[in-house]
Amino acid sequence: MWKKKERWTAAALLLAMVVVTGLCWYILYIRQQFYDEGTRNLLETYEQVDKAFTIFSRSNWNMLNEWGKSLQAANEEGLAEERLRSYEAEREIWRYSSVYLFNENCEYWSIRGKHEKVDHLWTAFEEMYRTGKPTVSSYIMRSGERRVVYAAPIAPVEIDGTTYTSLAVSYRNKTIEELIGGSAYGGQSDCYIIHPDGDVMLSEEPKSEIEDWMDNLFDYLQKFAQVDAGTLTRARQDVAEGRSGSLSCWLEGKSYYLVYQPVGFQDLSIVGIVGRDVVDSGMRKIQNATILLLAGLFFCAGIVLVHGVRIDARLRVEEKERALRQEEEARQQMEDLANTDGLTGLYNERYFDALLKENELNRTPFVLFYLDLDRFKPVNDRYGHDVGDQLLKEVASRLRGCVRESDAVFRIGGDEFALIVNGAVTEGFCKSRVEKIKAAIREPYRLKDAEVQVGTSCGCAVYPCDSDDVRAIRILADHRMYEDKQRSGRSCE
């Protein structure tokens, strides 16, 4: 009797040891899984924020490049100051705070006139003058407010006897946050753009315990956060060398995930900081329920079976998710093919009609440019359709260079094209953009050892200034294109 009882006791103790060991292993395992899954999701989230920031930066550099060329032309006529004031007047459209001219002597000119050397502003231009390339940087105003500055070198411009060699626009930190999207994880996250040494270039409004006045992220964490010294050192090295990574830390009694990855230019990195409770909330509920289930099965020998079922269920979910992702990717590819011109790679008329309807529905202002090629048919007749097709591809490539990435270029059919430039525009903008398009198209083309040259007739209409009906806008742009063709005496071929 006693021997049998001892055997049951030993079996119970062994089972208890197995269960306790299994629970401990499970807790450690699931904690690592939480970390891996949470940081992976965070990196994917901030990759989207990174893309938005990159697109916004390129738009600003393109704008500064165009302004620089225009400013140089105005400078030759003695109208540089007047032209710069016109840029200042566009602040409501672009949402920037100020426009600056700057030179290597730390002198700058703004709408308020010429200023002498200002150290806190000069720091935003050092990188540009060192590399000779457009840059983005930031500085702290005397009021303590952070401003983000996009700067680009330009041909020398003289105002009041002083020569300036760079053009820049500045934005309030809050404005950048709104433009690139500061609502990741329901607005419960921090986002920073930092230099390789950890200095903050741009910060969204902090939602964690990190103070607003923090200048260097790694120095702040080292001083105020509970984080493994080796992990923090590795993170410093990763950021300095342009690598991605993650770490976890405690701050004011709260645990956080921190992820970082390179932006893609100027050795900048984007950093996201989110509370673990925010990232893990859904998975934490599953974990607690599972632990309770395992504890309830303390006297059951089916722990291994339960664990196997959980693994199998997870594999099935992953397989289902993988199938759904593949189905979505295939659907997106089919949609892209349906919206794209097979020869030029531009959007086709189907997508053109859809985008016009969408803009009309959303009341989104835009300008529509309609154009077709002049002297295209003689090229096709003389050199054959292969050369004609190659010419259309080259024209498509040049038209892409006439608009921003946020705009759209379409091949409507044959040698007819259209461009949609988003945003409110002036009459002067439309005229200059038409001339830019014509200049780009009439440059000679070298195709299969034959040099050919074509022109274009172009008309435009502005929505909703010219009409609040997109069909009328399309008809008006087409009509103005033919008026342009008749004024120039060109053939429709």
- H or E segment to which residue 171 belongs: strand 162-172
Choosing from 238, 280, 415, 478, which is the catalytic residue?
Answer: 415
Report d(CA 421, CA 411) in Å as an integer.
15
Tokens of 444: 């000679």
Kindly list the strands in the beta sheet with 113-115, ordered across the sheet, starting from the edge strand earlier in the chain: 113-115, 108-110, 98-102, 162-172, 146-159, 135-140
Question: What is the torsion angle, in degrees rounded to the nearest 10, for the CA atoms of residue 297, residue 301, residue 303 and residue 306?
Answer: -90
Report d(CA 151, CA 266) in Å as an integer.
13
Closest by CA to 372, choosing from 404, 335, 329, 419, is: 419
Kindly list the strands in the beta sheet with 455-463, ordered across the sheet, starting from the edge strand earlier in the chain: 408-413, 416-422, 366-374, 455-463
φ/ψ of 427, rounded to 5, equals: -60, -40
Partners of 419 in the beta sheet? 369, 409
User: How many other C-beta atoms can be found within 10 angstroms of the C-beta atom of residue 403?
Assistant: 19
Tokens of 198: 């950890």
Is-catalytic flag, 212? Answer: no
Residue 14's Cβ-count burial label (10 Å; 0-12, 13-18, 19+) is exposed
Partners of 308 in the beta sheet? none
Q: How far apart are the first and last CA of the chain?
A: 108
Report d(CA 232, CA 369) in Å as an integer.
53
Residues with active-site annotation: 415
